[in-house]
Amino acid sequence: MISLRSFFSSKQAGVVKLLPLLTTLIVIVAVGCVSCAGRADQDGEGNVVYTIQVNSDTEGEAFGPVQFQFGNAYLSEHQYAEAVRAYTTAINNGYTDINVYINRGIAYMALEQYAGAISDANVSLDMNNAEIRAYRLRGQAYLKTGKYQDAVADFSSAIALDKSNKEDYLGRGMAYTGISEYDMAAHDFDQAILIDPGYPDAYYWRAHLNGKYRQDYSSALNDYAKVIDLNGKYVYDAYNGCGETYYKLNDFDRAISEFSVLLTLKPDYWLAYYNRGLCYAGTRQYQQAVSDFKQYLALDTNNKYGRVQSADYLVSSYKPFVEGNVR
């Protein structure tokens, strides 16, 4: 006999969420293999434990579908490494439904294992060249790995199959930005907003495009303000974007205000210290500038933002102006 155990959180909300899964597993066992048995218990720590036993002569037949369901449960609980293992076991035991490759690809994306995501998308498209989820998955993986032309092609394929998905236009717009096709990018961001006027991600990337590449600072500020109003996932980046835009306009006081608000809301947004330091220097407030550059250097020990050398140079340059009063 082969025993398979899967552990899930026994917190009340989690148990309720997973009950349909356990029911599904029991049905699979009951219908798929008369010599299989499944049981849901609790261990000594209060975790829900699902145990399934499979006779060796039907191991592959039963193992694959059950492991696919386990993979789905792990995926829903954001346990991505476990999901990948479960999906891989399902595939190795003969379960080759297209969904196992799509879902494993999603888990690979969450783990930032983009080659795995691309490989699974390729297999899915070999099975069905009209599988829109595979184009989206591979497009996102190409976007993450800087293969912008390939990302454009995949998002275009997805859009050809479904013109109503805002995320496809957003992804293609980001890819167009990566290959300096700024007008095409702007069109796609506009289209995403047309589909969903309350889509903060599209406002953010349109603002980024206009502020960094098109020098349309007024439009950039309007879109950053929209992101802040909508409180999207890029809200902190929007404050930083506002500050950078005001800096480009030589409005140092307003830029300082934006960076200060950002650091109040998110003190570990290290880049804001560097940017605010530049603004303080622009207003000849050298002591504050050096203080911010030093704070940035203390935080960004791995040079995440690539400003360490510049900040170190600026500290040395402005230090004489503060007459040694910087701590």
**In the block, residue with structure tokens 């476990």:** 82
Q: What is the pLDDT of residue 182?
A: 99
Q: What is the pLDDT of residue 53?
A: 53
Identity of the amino acid at 307:
R
Show the tokens assigned to 266.
């998110």
Q: What is the pLDDT of residue 270?
A: 93
Going from the C-alpha of 271 to that of each of 17, 65, 99, 106, 308, the distances in angstroms are 40, 48, 41, 30, 10
Residue 80 lies in a domain: yes
- In three-state form (DSSP H/G/I as H, E/B as E, the rest C), the secondary structure along 112-159 is CCHHHHHHHHHHHHHHCCCCHHHHHHHHHHHHHCCCHHHHHHHHHHHH
Q: Residues 32, 33, 36, 38: what is their CA dihedral angle, to the nearest 10 degrees?
A: 20
Q: What stretches of the chain show up as alpha helix (H) in DSSP?
A: 12-32, 59-76, 80-92, 98-110, 114-127, 132-144, 148-161, 166-178, 182-195, 200-212, 217-230, 235-248, 252-265, 270-282, 286-299, 308-318
Q: What is the pLDDT of residue 221?
A: 99
Q: In what order do the strands lie in the sheet with 48-54?
A: 2-8, 48-54, 37-42
Show the tokens assigned to 264.
């109040």
Do residues 280 and 286 touch, judged by C-beta distance below 8 A?
A: yes
State whether residue 323 is helix, strand or coil.
Answer: coil
Q: What is the pLDDT of residue 152?
A: 99
- From first to last of the 327 residues of the chain, give the pLDDT tens digit: 333 333 333 333 333 233 334 333 433 333 334 334 444 444 565 433 444 555 544 455 667 899 999 999 999 999 999 999 999 999 999 999 999 999 999 999 999 999 999 999 999 999 999 999 999 999 999 999 999 999 999 999 999 999 999 999 999 999 999 999 999 999 999 999 999 999 999 999 999 999 999 999 999 999 999 999 999 999 999 999 999 999 999 999 999 999 999 999 999 999 999 999 999 999 999 999 999 999 999 999 888 888 999 999 999 888 887 755 544
Which pTM was predicted? 0.80
Do residues 185 and 169 touch, judged by C-beta distance below 8 A?
A: no
Q: What is the pLDDT of residue 324?
A: 55
Residue 12 lies in a domain: yes
In which region does residue 250 sit, left (phi positive, over 0), alpha (psi from -120 to 50) or beta (all else)?
A: left
Residue 182 lies in a domain: no
Do residues 318 and 289 touch, judged by C-beta distance below 8 A?
A: yes
Residue 62 lies in a domain: yes
Q: Domain limits at 53?
A: 1-95
Candidates 134, 147, 69; CA nearest to 108 is 134
**In the block, residue with structure tokens 């029911």:** 23
| Distance from C-alpha of 79 to C-alpha of 326, rounded to nearest angstrom | 47
Q: What is the pLDDT of residue 173?
A: 99
Residue 18 lies in a domain: yes
Residue 247 lies in a domain: no
Tell me how many domains the chain contains: 1
Going from the C-alpha of 312 to that of each of 8, 112, 289, 292, 315, the distances in angstroms are 49, 32, 12, 11, 5
33: exposed, middle or buried (C-beta count within 10 Å: 0-12, 13-18, 19+)? buried
Q: What is the pLDDT of residue 149?
A: 99
- The residue count of the chain comes to 327
- Sorted by sequence, the CB contacts under 8 Å of residue 141 that are 6+ apart come out as 105, 109, 114, 117, 118, 121
Residue 49 lies in a domain: yes
Q: What is the pLDDT of residue 136?
A: 99
CATH, residue 47: 3.30.70
Q: What is the pLDDT of residue 177?
A: 98
